[in-house]
């Protein structure tokens, strides 16, 4: 049963990542209207649940889409 538990945990993590990504996109679109395809792709590439959680909160504190893009770019440049 250990194996089934692990599969369930993986499924939950995948679902959580998808939920956070969609939430980030929805909130940014609601606040700033149109989002660039580049930004949408960048958000959809994020696979780190630990980063997606705080990034979701940043959607309500940033003052512009470019500020949000800078957050993503800074994070990407430090993880190279």
Secondary structure of 8-59 as H, E, C letters: HHHHHHHHHHHHHHHHHHHHHHHHHCCCCHHHHHHHHHCCCHHHHHHHHHHC
pLDDT higher for 28 or 10? Answer: 28
Q: Which has more pLDDT, 37 or 7?
A: 37
Instruction: Name the domain count of the chain.
Output: 1
Contact status, residue 46 vs residue 21, Cβ threshold 8 Å: yes
Domain boundaries, position 40: 2-78
What is the C-alpha separation between 20 and 51, in angstroms, rounded?
10
Residue 80 has pLDDT above 70, yes or no: no
- pLDDT band per the 50, 70, 90 thresholds, residue 1: very low
Contact 40, 33 (CB under 8 A): no
């Amino acid at each position: 049963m250990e194996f089934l538990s692990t599969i369930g945990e993986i499924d939950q993590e995948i679902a959580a990542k998808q939920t956070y990504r969609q939430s980030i996109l929805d909130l940014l679109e609601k606040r700033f209207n149109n989002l660039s395809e580049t930004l949408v792709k960048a958000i959809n590439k994020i696979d780190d649940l630990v980063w997606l959680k705080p990034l979701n909160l940043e959607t309500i504190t940033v003052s512009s889409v470019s500020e949000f893009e800078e957050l993503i770019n800074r994070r990407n440049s430090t993880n190279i």
